[in-house]
Amino acid sequence: MRMTNKIMQNNSLYNINNNKIMQDKLSTMMSTQKKITRPSDDPVIAIRALRLRTSVSEMTQYYEKNAPDAESWLDVTAGALDTVTEVVTNMIKLANRSANKEFGSEDLQVFVEQFKALRNEFYSTGNTDYAGRYVFTGYRTDTTLSFTEEVETEQKENPGYPSYKITEQVGITAFDQINYTWTGELAGLNKNNYLDANGVPKDITEQKDVQNGDMYRLRLSYDVVSDDAANAPVITYKDKAGVDQTLTVAAAQIVSSSDDPYKKVLDDPKAMIFVPDTGELLFGKDAYNDIAANVTQDTEFQVTYTKNEWKKGDMRPEHYFACEKEYINDAKEKKEVKYNQEYLTKGNKNNQAIEYDVGYNQKIRVNTTADEVFNLNLDRDIDDLERALADLVEIDATKKDIELKFKEMDEGNPNYSAMKKQYEAANKAYDYIRENIHNMFEHTVTKMQGYLDATDVAITDNGTRSQRLDLISNRLMDQRTNFKTLQSENEDIDIAEVVIQLTSTDLTYNSALMATGKIMQTSLMNYI
């Protein structure tokens, strides 16, 4: 093959250009610290880089954002639960102290006021929020757990709104036994009215005017509910045979607490009475036994009723029950919305768990829902104590007045016998009521311990999630480090090696220039 000068020139230029390309490539690698600048440089490295960068990005999202956010939510919840524990613990101590029979009605009034203050703190803790999101309200993180003063404005402008049709789901254990003392004409008796129109002591006796007995009660979660017969409570359940049963409240069975509904139940063991202002369904012993005999311990009772009067501090029913809300929007239009309708299917109660993605196919629940901690029964227990104390204060005042008048008489006084009967009746009624409130305070200890146990369970669950999150965070940190190492090994250059290659390439390039310069100086023309 004939090798001409032109061929040599072309080959030299081609090789010099290749050297220059290699020098440029190595220079770019030095400046970028990366092995490739475009996928075509090395498709294998490029594909692996995309996968590793995706993994590192996901790990960074999990480790630097999701996990810290979840941890903050759990920490806020833990702080609120600690407050609840402290409040309920104080309630238990207070209940233990107030169960002492040596305390009079004045002392018990102080205790009940302390209970009410602790109750308010208990429920206000439920409005704890994290970054503007309420932590105990499930998916409705933009809604407070309890009503604020805003609802009062709405009711003033639109009486009866918002109105909720609530369905509570309870078991047979929700029917509790209560004691009641009827005081007849003793009620309201004092030193100014203990005489009749003839100036003699009123005919009040222990047998005629003092009656004590037990009855059963299904206490709703709210008081001051609708007293409209059309919206009266309806109880539905399945008996042992699986047949649907319905108990409805007729208009005649709706009795205000001022009309002494408890006496009606004492007189009629088959009675069922609804007291809307206290939110109680009262059952005589026979009426209750008829129900209890036809159900099992697992039977679910669905109690549907309407409440359309709310005050500040009342708990929003949409966080607890299946309910239908009717309200007036900003455009003064009547609107309806349904909540938690899936609860009505037994076994299908959604606990509205909020979960964070904290790893590949790994989620962790961060929220604790209100029904796990803020039991509405605590509020109703304090209401019961308050009403029982009012009865005790009234009978205590009567007892003291009658006792004072009775001790002023001697046995020769013609009114002595009638006054003695009044005194004995007042003493008997006082003993019944005092014993009842003593038992209530004792039962309050047990109930508060139950609320504390529920809180402890919630604290344990929250703490377990926090510990699990710590383990996940540590693993995420290790995984992110490993992926970053792999990414660096895949993409980053070995600087020392590239420096050697660049130096060698530069030397080769300069040598090629020198050799080419010498070869190109001589051509065939020099010999012509």
**Better pLDDT: 520 or 394:** 394
Q: Give pLDDT, residue 238.
A: 93
| Among the listed residues 238, 314, 223, 221, the one whose alpha carbon sits nearest the alpha carbon of residue 275 | 223
* pLDDT-derived band at 137, boundaries 50, 70, 90: very high
Cβ neighbours around 467 below 10 Å, total: 11
SS (H, E, C) 6-42: HHHHHHHHHHHHHHHHHHHHHHHHHHHCECCCCHHHC
User: Is the pLDDT at 447 greater than 90, yes or no?
Assistant: yes
Residues 254-266 pLDDT 10s:
999 999 999 999 9
* pLDDT-derived band at 385, boundaries 50, 70, 90: very high
End residue of a domain, out of 327, 351, 375: 351
| Among the listed residues 265, 371, 284, 305, the one whose alpha carbon sits nearest the alpha carbon of residue 167 | 305
Mean pLDDT of 489-514: 80
User: Is the pLDDT at 109 greater than 80, yes or no?
Assistant: yes
Mean pLDDT of 392-398: 93
Distance separating alpha carbons of residues 24 and 505, to the nearest angstrom: 10
Q: Is residue 408 part of a domain?
A: no
Q: Is residue 481 part of a domain?
A: no
Alpha-carbon distance values, 147 to 139, 218, 335, 372, 432 (Å):
17, 24, 19, 19, 38
- Whether omega for the bond prior to residue 162 falls within 30 degrees of 0, making it cis, is yes
Q: Give pLDDT, residue 348.
A: 58
Same domain, 154 and 298: yes
Cβ neighbours around 254 below 10 Å, total: 19
Distance separating alpha carbons of residues 497 and 505, to the nearest angstrom: 12
Q: Are strands 133-134 and 244-248 parallel, antiparallel or unpaired?
A: unpaired
Residues 319-356 pLDDT 10s:
999 999 998 888 888 899 999 998 888 655 667 899 99
User: Is the pLDDT at 149 greater than 90, yes or no?
Assistant: no
* pLDDT-derived band at 491, boundaries 50, 70, 90: confident
Contacts of residue 344, defined as CB under 8 A and 6 or more positions apart, other chains included, come to 167, 169, 302, 322
Mean residue pLDDT of the chain comes to 88
| Among the listed residues 335, 336, 338, 327, the one whose alpha carbon sits nearest the alpha carbon of residue 166 | 338
Q: Give pLDDT, residue 304.
A: 96
Same domain, 28 and 162: no
**Better pLDDT: 201 or 282:** 282
Mean pLDDT of 457-465: 95
User: Is the pLDDT at 486 greater than 90, yes or no?
Assistant: no
Q: Is residue 256 part of a domain?
A: yes
* pLDDT-derived band at 25, boundaries 50, 70, 90: confident
Mean pLDDT of 51-79: 87
* Alpha-carbon dihedral 34, 37, 42, 43, rounded to 10 degrees: 120
Distance separating alpha carbons of residues 160 and 164, to the nearest angstrom: 10
Distance separating alpha carbons of residues 136 and 373, to the nearest angstrom: 9
* Contact present, 166 and 314 (Cβ < 8 Å): no
Q: Is residue 15 part of a domain?
A: yes
Distance separating alpha carbons of residues 338 and 480, to the nearest angstrom: 45
Contacts of residue 494, defined as CB under 8 A and 6 or more positions apart, other chains included, come to none
85-99, 122-136, 149-163 — which is least confidently predicted? 149-163
* Contact present, 212 and 179 (Cβ < 8 Å): yes
Distance separating alpha carbons of residues 328 and 49, to the nearest angstrom: 57
Q: Is residue 19 part of a domain?
A: yes
- Of all residues in the chain, the percent with pLDDT exceeding 90 is 57
Query: Over the range 212-226, which residues count as b (16 or more CB within 10 Å of their CB) and which as e?
Result: bbebbbbbbbbbebb
Q: Give pLDDT, residue 92.
A: 95
Element (H, E) at 364: strand 362-365
User: Is the pLDDT at 523 greater than 70, yes or no?
Assistant: no
Q: Give pLDDT, residue 412.
A: 80
Q: Is residue 433 part of a domain?
A: no
Q: Is residue 427 part of a domain?
A: no
Q: Is residue 465 part of a domain?
A: no
| Among the listed residues 294, 293, 292, the one whose alpha carbon sits nearest the alpha carbon of residue 240 | 294
**Better pLDDT: 329 or 120:** 120
End residue of a domain, out of 304, 325, 351: 351
Alpha-carbon distance values, 6 to 14, 17, 492, 511 (Å):
12, 16, 42, 20
Domain containing 271: what range?
147-351
* pLDDT-derived band at 482, boundaries 50, 70, 90: confident
Instruction: Read off φ and ψ for residue 287, nearest 5 degrees.
Output: -65, -40
* Contact present, 140 and 354 (Cβ < 8 Å): no
pTM for the model stands at 0.84
Q: Give pLDDT, residue 346.
A: 63
Q: Give pLDDT, residue 35.
A: 75
User: Is the pLDDT at 528 greater than 80, yes or no?
Assistant: no
Q: Give pLDDT, residue 7.
A: 78
Please report where in the chains the tokens 């941890």 appear, as a residue: 71
Distance separating alpha carbons of residues 404 and 415, to the nearest angstrom: 14
Same domain, 27 and 152: no
End residue of a domain, out of 351, 376, 396: 351
Distance separating alpha carbons of residues 434 and 431, to the nearest angstrom: 5
Same domain, 335 and 202: yes
Reported in sequence order, the residue ranges of 19-132 that DSSP labels E, i.e. its strands, are 129-130
Q: What's the structural domain count of the chain? A: 2
Distance separating alpha carbons of residues 260 and 226, to the nearest angstrom: 18
Residues 266-316 pLDDT 10s:
999 999 999 999 999 999 999 999 999 999 999 999 999 999 999 888 999
* Contact present, 249 and 226 (Cβ < 8 Å): no
Distance separating alpha carbons of residues 318 and 11, to the nearest angstrom: 85
Maximal C-alpha separation, the chain: 171
Distance separating alpha carbons of residues 409 and 415, to the nearest angstrom: 8
User: Is the pLDDT at 390 greater than 90, yes or no?
Assistant: yes
Q: Give pLDDT, residue 118.
A: 96
Residues 30-52 pLDDT 10s:
777 777 777 877 788 778 878 87
| DSSP 3-state percent helix, strand, coil across the chain (nearest 5) | 55, 15, 25
